[in-house]
């Protein structure tokens, strides 16, 4: 699925919401709400009044890594994006060229496959050797082995958050951590922020809890996105704890709604769901790609950012809401000048309302 529009450059969110003016916080973003093809406009702080007591938010606890590190191949400067740690200790990485403006661009024909030199010198005397492509579909990501230092130490001492060209400047790592982020036992995390949860603040979470909204934590460590080619997601590490699986099943059994915060949360929970619709504790690697043909088994709604027209994520949105609903929402987002990308506005997809359900102050009871 692609949206037959182009997002104007001026709709890219270049800095986080809290840096756009005095007194602003992370939740000072707009919220587009879809119920079928009905679209309404809100601000994110209204979320507690848009949900119901008993609703369950599935949230991703993966922390964001400082995954971009400068390196050199021969005399050329490169930027290494560390994506995912494999079972054998190797890392999936993407090599990109500095663009001269603090960000990077794809290496294109000068990528790793097009050169005999596959050794990258990293800061602190470490060496990274590219060994083989991650997939036969593309040579963008390679499995690589690092010697001379531990990768997580290199990231901790020399890394910075991955930044794309639409952003205005580098930001500290704290800007890329969500309120739900927890340290991983092995120190790994996400190459890119699970950004749908970024607008949540501790204050807003407390208000949601006070109104009876529940939370189920899951983990999915996101890899490096395909900023130019918009490839489908690669296998990623995930974990759905037993307590979260039980809670999700109980909410569904009680006729309440399960709403995923981010496409990463959808991928994790749907990976732990059997054909019978029961969620079970699970973990490891998932290669699940949620499409309209596959559909969703557990998720009733989705809170997500606004995705590029070519992004494979839109197939997941269509699986949750249907093509007509997604098309309508994106038309409204463009007409309403919503902001795109990880620092931008957000989109809440809810099931269509039953016309016979009573309503009180904008909520169904």
Q: What is the pLDDT of residue 100?
A: 84
Residue pair 279/272 in contact by the 8 Å Cβ criterion: yes
Q: Compute the half-sphere exposure of residue 232: CA atoms within 13 Å on the CB side of its CA.
A: 13
First-to-last CA distance in the chain? 35
**Backbone CA torsion sign across 323, 307, 133, 295:** negative
pTM flag (> 0.85): yes
Count CB neighbours of 234 within 10 A: 20
Widest Cα–Cα separation across the chain: 69
Tell me how far apart the alpha carbons of residues 144 and 16 are, in angstroms, rounded to a whole number. 33
Q: What is the pLDDT of residue 360?
A: 39
C-alpha to C-alpha distances, 19 to 14, 28, 65, 204, 344, nearest whole angstrom: 10, 10, 21, 19, 12
Environment class of 64 (CB within 10 Å of its CB; exposed 0-12, middle 13-18, buried 19+): buried
Backbone angles phi, psi at 363, to 5 degrees: -115, 150
Tell me how far apart the alpha carbons of residues 237 and 58 are, in angstroms, rounded to a whole number. 17
Q: What is the pLDDT of residue 151?
A: 95
Query: Residues 201-205: contacts with CB within 8 Å, 24+ apart?
Result: 201/25, 201/26, 201/27, 203/27, 204/27, 204/44, 204/45, 204/47, 204/48, 205/179
User: With the CA atoms of 10, 231, 217 and 196 taken in that order, what torsion angle do they form, in degrees rounded to the nearest 10?
Assistant: 10
pLDDT in tens, 167-200: 888 999 999 999 999 999 899 999 999 999 999 9
Ranges of residues in the chain whose predicted pLDDT is under 70: 1-5, 108-117, 136-137, 227-230, 310, 354-365
Q: Using alpha carbons only, how large is the chain's radius of gyration in Å?
A: 21
Q: What is the pLDDT of residue 355?
A: 47
Q: Which two tokens stand for residue 179?
A: 């309120």
Count CB neighbours of 2 within 10 A: 12
Ramachandran sector of residue 112 (left: φ over 0; alpha: ψ -120 to 50; beta: rest): alpha
């Amino acid at each position: 699925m692609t949206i037959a529009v182009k997002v104007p450059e001026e709709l890219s969110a270049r800095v986080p919401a809290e840096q756009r003016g005095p007194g602003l916080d992370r939740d000072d973003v707009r919220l587009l709400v879809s119920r079928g093809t009905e679209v309404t406009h809100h601000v994110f702080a209204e979320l507690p009044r848009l949900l119901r007591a008993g609703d369950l938010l599935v949230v991703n606890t993966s922390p964001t890594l400082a995954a971009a590190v400068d390196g050199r191949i021969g005399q050329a400067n490169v930027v290494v994006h560390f994506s995912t740690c494999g079972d054998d200790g190797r890392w999936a990485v993407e090599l990109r060229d500095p663009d001269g403006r603090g960000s990077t661009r794809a290496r294109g024909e000068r990528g790793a496959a097009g050169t005999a030199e596959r050794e990258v010198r990293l800061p602190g005397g470490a060496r990274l050797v590219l060994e083989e492509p991650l997939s036969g579909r593309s040579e963008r990501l390679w499995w690589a082995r690092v010697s001379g230092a531990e990768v997580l130490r290199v990231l901790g001492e020399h890394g910075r958050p991955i930044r794309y060209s639409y952003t205005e400047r580098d930001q500290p790592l704290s800007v890329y951590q969500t309120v739900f982020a927890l340290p991983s036992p092995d120190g790994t995390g996400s190459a890119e922020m699970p950004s749908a949860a970024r607008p949540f603040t501790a204050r807003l979470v407390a208000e949601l809890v006070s109104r009876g909204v529940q939370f189920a934590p899951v983990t999915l460590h996101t890899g490096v996105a395909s900023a130019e080619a918009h490839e489908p997601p690669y296998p990623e590490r995930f974990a759905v704890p037993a307590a979260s699986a039980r809670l999700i099943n109980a909410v569904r059994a009680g006729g309440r709604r399960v709403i995923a915060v981010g496409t990463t949360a959808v991928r994790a929970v749907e990976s732990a769901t059997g054909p019978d619709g029961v969620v079970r504790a699970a973990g490891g690697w998932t290669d699940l790609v949620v499409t309209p043909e596959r559909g969703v088994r557990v998720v009733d709604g989705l809170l997500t950012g606004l995705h590029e027209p070519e992004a494979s994520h839109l197939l997941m949105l269509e699986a949750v809401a249907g093509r007509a609903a997604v098309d309508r929402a994106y038309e409204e987002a463009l007409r309403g000048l919503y902001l795109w990308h990880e620092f931008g506005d957000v989109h809440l997809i809810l099931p269509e309302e039953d016309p016979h359900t009573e309503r009180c102050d904008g909520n169904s009871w």
